[in-house]
Amino acid sequence: MGHLNISFARQMARLRRIAAHPRRYLRLTPKIALQRATRLFAATSFRLEPQMDIHPLSLWHDPAFTGQFGGFNLPGEPPRTIVDLQPWDTVRRDMLVLLLRDVIERRVPGDIAELGVYKGLTAKLIHHYAPERTLHLYDTFQGFDTRDVVREAAVRGRKPAQNQFSDTTPEAVLRYINPKAGVHVHPGVFPESVPESEHDLRYCFVHLDADLYAPIMAGLDYFYPRMERAAFIVVHDFNAWPGARRAVMEFFAGKPEIPVPMPDHSGSAVIRRA
């Protein structure tokens, strides 16, 4: 009964507020109507509002907030280029941009690397958002290595299809990225493909997207000791490919960093170097 009384009292207070300020509460602009309509889709996987509030096209965009803090950009700087990834994964695009923005804003020194490039979708986003940082791209450009596939079968109990990701070349990737400068492509099986001349490089941001246990573990082994403090490692497919997830969990067991699961389409894990 007490509960009902509180609820009734709240409803009455609400009605009194509406009666006192009818223009504020009963106003139905197209923007407000659309905002309310999104509730109709709350229990489905359809979304009327796929953009973050800091996106200028968001229904909830507040120019005063982005004016002060920069939104996807750094305050006081000209806007950076943001290249779309897959249209259904705006969460991943925004996550990568905000992590890059953070290392730039904190002036974390070092280069950027991606292991698992395929046709260069993510590499293009990374390069055009942060063109001032050298980007190192590692891929076989011929799909998975047989040794990694055999290892994967042992890790997850069945072999992944090997005829994936071979329809690409370093040249096609470079044409697609259309870099301003500073993009180095290293074809071959990682980690054998890392030139000795690069062993002393330090990194502010590394994206590991090689799907399988063996290359993800090799990427963590190689890059982790070369990451600057506050640098990010992002491992894609943490909630999609069992080998990738297992490599992350095993590698960080006993390390000071704890992988943070992200809600992008295939579920990345984000690790900030302590």
Provide the minimum distance between the beta carbon of 118 and ligand SAM in the complex, in angstroms, as a whole number.
4
Binding flag, residue 152, ligand SAM (CB under 6 A): no
Alpha-carbon gap, residue 220 to 204, rounded angstroms: 14
User: In the complex with ligand SAM, which residue's Cβ is closer, 108 or 217?
Assistant: 217
Six-digit token string for 253: 């067991």
Q: State residue 127 phi and psi, 5-degree precision.
A: -65, -45
Asked if residue 122 binds ligand SAM (CB under 6 A), the reply is: yes
* Least Cβ distance, residue 127 to ligand SAM (angstroms): 12
Which of 39, 20, 37 lies closest to 28 in space, CA to CA? 37
Q: Which helix (H) or strand (E) holds 270?
A: strand 269-272
Four-CA torsion 86, 103, 138, 197, nearest 10 degrees = 170
Residues 6+ apart with CB under 8 A from 104: 74, 130
Sign of the CA dihedral 157, 162, 163, 167? positive
Q: How far is the CB of 190 from ligand SAM (least distance, A)?
A: 4
Is 238 an interacting residue with respect to ligand SAM (CB under 6 A)?
Answer: no
Based on the shown chain and the rule CB under 6 A, indicate whether residue 243 belongs to the binding site for ligand SAM: no
| Of positions 71, 110, 143, 267, contacts ligand SAM by CB under 6 A | 143
Q: Report if residue 183 touches ligand SAM, rule: CB under 6 A.
A: no
**Contact with ligand SAM (CB under 6 A) among 72, 144, 203, 205:** 144
Closest to ligand SAM by CB, 212 vs 270, is: 212
Partners of 138 in the β-ladder? 115, 186
Q: Which of residues 43-82 bind ligand SAM (CB under 6 A)?
A: none
For 104, other C-beta atoms within 10 Å of its C-beta total: 18
| 189 is a site residue for ligand SAM (CB under 6 A) | yes
124 contacts: CB under 8 Å, gap ≥ 6? 83, 176, 177, 178
215 binds ligand SAM (CB under 6 A): yes
User: Which one of residues 97, 140, 152, 252 is an interface residue with ligand SAM (CB under 6 A)?
Assistant: 140
> Does 264 participate in binding ligand SAM (rule CB under 6 A)?
no
Q: Which residues are at the interface with ligand SAM (CB under 6 A)?
A: 116-119, 121-122, 138-140, 143-145, 148, 165, 189-190, 209-212, 215
